Structure 1
């Protein structure tokens, strides 16, 4: 068993090395990584550069245009928009990553169990997955958020709970292929139990696909948080980009010509999603031989 594990681990390591080398040579993926890297740095260090307090207002003229004192102007309560954007980066990206983590865990467990066991287990788990696939996402998320309450943690839970079915389907299809390979048969022959095989053999071989799908789900999670917050279901105490757009819309910033209030968080959402999309496209091109450029 040890020799089988060592051989399998070396194969996985070799795959990852080749994967990273190919990714670094992909211009679109590299550009996406730079965009996301910049926003991650903003999320980590940005709030340290501002004294922005979401509960403090009236410190400046409301909806004042960009100036040297306020580079991105002020909002409808006289707060610095740049400070809100910097702090909003941390909130929005954190929500996106944590919601994606929940989604990936649920989708991976369901997908691997369904594909590996097959039979009645597969049928039951896939029908359960289909229920979430056919339900309209937005009404379901709005209802769950209204029931649980508008808070950051509830939004993370709701997005993670409603965005896993696609991952489960993808992981299941890959598991069906991996479980038929010879090293799985060898592991069974020497007495390895099902949980060991799924943890040590199936998961490492489907993980690159899970990782690639995680990138796309992260973009969806950030867009989902922005959508829920814009519709008034976000946490009013946390200045996420979605909440900034919500307040900008409520204050009539568009009709008042306060373009900086709308454009600033909007551009941030677009750039982050674009970065994830670039990386996701690069991963799809690497993992799908038919899309590889010659």
Structure 2
């Protein structure tokens, strides 16, 4: 992608208020994840106070049922939730692009077979499939990423396939085929450059979905019990009586608000990227 096109895309991005808000939210959370050991006042795994302490000058968000600082848990949990979301989204996008490119370029029986597989994944009820896979594979950091990837690749595959169907009818692709250009050259030099921008917007949206899925699985007790993500914080808060006391105010609301804010940041950024890539959306706005 040349510099002029990048500059044009950046101008469009900066003219979109929601896009800049979303990008700003993502930058803030990224900085929190990177500097969590510096920002966090305590080690999130250590008991530093009395159980169920209310927020005060020393513990800004109080403590949980074993006396661990909730603010420190949330700061370190940003790392886990963001990392799971990004890695799972990356895997699902790579898999979706692979399926979409193969189906769209080759067409015929290959396209029909792969698209029926995509339809099968999309038509299965999402929540039961997610719970079944998580319970079968078992709770761990990488297993959660695997589950999210297995149920998130189908939608990007369908979008990428549509883009490839359009690209392969372009004159330069037809000309490359007619002179016997190697298929790897066609795919990497002519098809993929047109797929990458679409894949980027799909990646951002897939990351927001992955964070929600991880939080849902962890809240149901299917997450990794040895990592402190926002979802596991919610799980332990629900399991250990936070709703029965005033502790829900500082133990349940903050992680819920953080999940919501991060998902909004990804969503705003993703929608603005889609607007950049689709001029018709800019006209409608």
**Normalised TM-score (structure 1):** 0.92
- Compare 36-45 and 48-57 and name the one that shifted more: 48-57
Match of 2:127 in 1: 138
In the other structure, the counterpart of 1:289 is 279
Is 1:75 the counterpart of 2:69? The answer is: no
| 1:252-267 correspondence runs (5 A) | 252-258=241-247, 259-267=249-257
Structure 1 position 290, deviation (Å): 2.7
Distance between the aligned counterparts of 2:176 and 2:37, measured in 1?
51
Q: Is the contact between residue 96 and residue 155 of structure 2 (CA under 8 Å) also seen in structure 1?
A: yes
Where does structure 1 differ by over 4 angstroms across 4 or more consecutive aligned residues? 51-55
Secondary structure, aligned partner of 1:76: coil
Instruction: State the partner residue of 1:109.
Output: 98
Give yes or no for contact 1:54–1:237 (8 Å, CA) kept in 2. Answer: no
CA distance in structure 1 between the aligned counterparts of 2:266 and 2:106, rounded to whole angstroms: 33
CA offsets 1:139-193 (integer angstroms, 9 cap, x no match)? 2122222222100110011101110110000000111001000111222233322
Separation of aligned partners in 2, 1:170 and 1:131 = 16
Deviation at 1:54, TM superposition (A): 5.0
Q: How does 1:225-236 map to 2 (within 5 A)?
A: 225-236=214-225
Partner of 2:32: 42
Give 5+ residue unaligned stretches, structure 2: none
- Contact 2:103–2:111 under 8 Å retained in 1: yes
Q: Structure 1 CA distance, aligned partners of 2:184 and 2:130?
A: 33
Aligned residues: 283
- Shift of residue 15, structure 1, vs aligned partner: 3.3
Contact 2:44 2:70 in 1 (8 A): no
Give the superposition deviation at 1:272: 0.2
Aligned equivalent of 1:176, options 162, 165, 172: 165
Give me the whole-angstrom Cα distance separating, in 2, the residues matched to 1:55 and 1:45: 17
Of the three residues 189, 201, 208, the one matched with 1:212 is 201
Q: CA deviation at 1:133?
A: 0.7
1:90-169 to 2 correspondence within 5 Å? 90-169=79-158
Partner residue of 1:6? none
Q: What CA deviation, in whole Å up to 9, does each residue of 1:50-72 have, x standing for no partner?
A: 36445433x31111111111111
Q: Secondary structure at the match of 1:212?
A: helix
Match of 1:29 in 2: 19
Residue ranges of structure 1 left out of the alignment (5+ in a row) = 1-8
TM-score (ref. length: structure 2): 0.95
